[in-house]
Amino acid sequence: MRINADTDRCIGAGMCVLTAPDVFDQSEDDGTVLVLEPEPPEARRAAVRRAVQVCPSGALSLS
């Protein structure tokens, strides 16, 4: 699993950080998403899938 984050689409809502705080953070500059673990381990993948689903801007995808 690899996480793709489109920072042009991200609106800084922070849902991903609330859902998977070990994997996502937000830029202190503009609040856009930072991916801390682009290839998350198995134990965190369920939370990552939820984060992709709850992102209101569709900025996150998986490959």
**Cβ proximity to ligand SF4, 11 vs 41, nearer residue:** 11
Given 1, 8, 12, 43, the residue binding ligand SF4 (CB under 6 A) = 12
Max alpha carbon distance in the chain (Å)?
Answer: 31
Given 14, 45, 47, 50, the residue binding ligand SF4 (CB under 6 A) = 14
The answer to whether 23 contacts ligand SF4 (rule: CB under 6 A) is no
**Cβ proximity to ligand SF4, 10 vs 48, nearer residue:** 10
